[in-house]
Structure 1
Amino acid sequence: MKKVLLALLIIIVVVGTTTLPAKTKVRAYYSGDAIIYNDVVVTGSANSESLEVFKLEGQKLVKFVDIKPYNSRFGTYDSFFDLKFNQEDGRLYVYAISGYSLYKYDISDLSSPSLVKISTNSYWEWYSRVDKFGNDIVTISARGVKVFNRNMDIVDSYDIKNDIPYNISSGGSSQYIFNITKDQINVFDRSARKVTKNINVDYRSASGNRSLYFDSYDQMIYVVDDYSAKKFDLNGALKSTFDHSGNPGYDVASSNNEYIYFSNGLGVVKLEKSNTKLLASQVTGGIAGTEGWAMGLKVVANFTGDKVVVFNNSSILVLNDKLNKLAYARAGEDTRPEVKENLFLHLNTVAAPTNSVINLTGGGYYPNEKLTVTVKDTKVTAQADENGRFKQTLVAPAVSNQAFNTASAVTMASAGTSSAVTARERTDIKVVGEQSKFNYSISLEVVTTK
């Protein structure tokens, strides 16, 4: 029976993907968040570079927040890049990131945002994501994970990194942080402050946004790779699988009941949690207009049951627990060049002697745009290719004089009558797109001996 239902799903998917493409390009919704507040479904995204928040009213998603952060220094509007909802003392807040700043808005009246606080770091850490790990609001960047309290002070940090920050998540756990790579899930125990298990998964590409769900009650991990939905225990033992159509596996989500849902681009699938039995499926390609592609997924529940929120490329889509359409909001037209992946930077080394050659690669910028690469006080120009990727050789700078005066950064060595002093210092390499204004950085440890 399971194979028959799967075959029917594949047939439906083939028919569903024959829809003609839209004539205009839309801003893609690929991630966001959802929450239940006073029994109302609230969802939002920052994929348009604005903070957009919607509420479900009958069969409509009504937008009640659409703002950008104002830069009073230059008299311009900047961009938001991610958001996260959180209930605190009965009130609803939305956190959003913009560059080096974390914003907090009160949206409890479900009609307009009220700015509560802005926290800006002074060390040029560009935030890529904001999320919630257990009860903690966190930011994720190229430098790892920072944990904030309600006053937006940093109270902890974890050295967990991924070229695709979306792939670092708690999966709903208070104890674990999960880091998904091309072929593994790294399970990081927050109490032990180390990776306690690596679990094998199977993705065809190292790129792509992925997330998983962790059931704190049965201590099981649910993930979907490019071949099947999988259920693992914390020791990495595979307990159950469900083969899907071989498309990219994106997200798995649940409202903490007996069901899980996953997205694989072509649509959304509902499974029984205990044995991964197929219960329902929905192709999302044409359900809310053309160009639908199911990626990000959030599941919340109110008194009428599960509500499945799908970030469906051309729309934000809300389905009921039978995966029937309840409402959707279409994305606006996008006149910007197409961005084919999330921003990332990679170095061929984590540490380099002064004046040595280092290789920097990156992507997620506009196709063929000029890039400015800054290493300390030196700026060089790079060029993105048609896919928004680039390669650039750089020369490692010298450490500052201050580093030589810092005892913890200096080591001394002597041989006969000669001696040498070595200092180490971390420096940021920053890449800014000339047209897109996309800004991303990565750290390098520089070593100077004199």
Structure 2
Amino acid sequence: MANEIVKIPDLGGVDEVVVLEVLIKVGDSVTTDQPLMSLESEKASMDVPSDRDGKVTAILLQVGDKVREGDACISVEANNSAPKPEVPPETSDAEAAAVAPQTKITPAPTATKTVAPTQQAVKVVSPAEPGASTGYASPTVRRLARQLGIDLAVVPASGSGGRVTQDDLVAVIQARQGLVPATSIARSADAPLSPSWQDPTKFGPCEQKKLGKIKNATAKAMAQSWANVVHVTQFDQVDITALEAFRCSHKDALKAQSIRLTMLAFNIKALVPALIQHPNVNASYQASEKTRWEKRYYHVGFAVDTPGGLVVPVIQNVDQLSVIEIAQQLGELSQKARASQLTPRDMVGASFTVSSLGGLGGTYFTPIVNQPQSAILGVSRAATQPVWDGKNFQPRLMLPLSLSYDHRLIDGAEAMRFLNDYTTALQALTDCDLNKS
């Protein structure tokens, strides 16, 4: 038997990802499709599966490493394989870091060059003080700090081992924006490591649980968006009485073809004419260049609730799809999401996102813009309400809508015009050809 190299697979157009977890150790026997490592990009996490059976002879990556498609991952002594040039086994630090798949590892801290601090709104804490910055941070936090223009050397660290966390960056941004006093994030020698934290075990029995990969990735992305985007949410509702009757008249026939015709398929289809009329809502704001990028494609992400947390697969080229084709893709991608089978390619490229809570309930909410998009539409559960028609109150099925948008790019008037055009387009789908794109 010969050693063979397992490489990082297709990353779906993502240039670089970070090794989040190592799920095996040297000496383990692995089988085809068994997860070997977990990788994390800015928007998703994925597992690297083994493409063969065999025994692990070397682990060539460790937690925190940045990797690209085609990079060597592990060396395997493959079963029943033709001899290939042997890869010398390495003594890997990752062996000590390998854990069971259920356990989350924090990437090992990497030292960064400390830059002489310039005059900042944030107080620079003496290195002797607890909570002073060490410059240590995970690759994700480093990338976010670069995007925000924050020098890690002047950020008070609250993480274990003096590591700068995402919350520390948010505190710096809030201080710069005057949301909190700058001095409140610079900890004095006798201040607790995290001023807002209280040990809950002082008040009663508790159980501490680690967040899963998806929850952690979502937390990072949402914190980044909330710190960067000037969020405003516009609320509205639309009468879908006729559209719901139309949907119900077709759903049983399509169910026999294993197609689930949900209102979300109509919600997504109606976006296209509104996005075409309002290109800012389908754009991205680039603050560094003071420009906006108007996208000439219409790829719509939709949030899926999974046991591990929310994920956002993307339907490409919605403008070229019929309602039935959108419904088919909604079903297929949702099924992949709940089975943890989405690839990065399934989750990149969205120009707009829809978050539907209609199956759960509620009226209105504030969805968080999914950067670098400029807006996101929240859809809640439709409810029958009395609506005045000029003479009498009539029972109408009203669908609540919540549009969150980046106020740097979209103002309130434009947001309302977009919603007006969107609701018109949605109601116009009544009696539409479900097979027509």
Identify whether the pair has TM-score above 0.5, normalized to the shorter chain: no
Q: TM-score, normalization: structure 1?
A: 0.22
Whose Rg is larger?
2
TM-score, length of structure 2 as denominator length: 0.23
Q: Which has the higher helix share?
A: 2
Decide which structure has greater strand share.
1
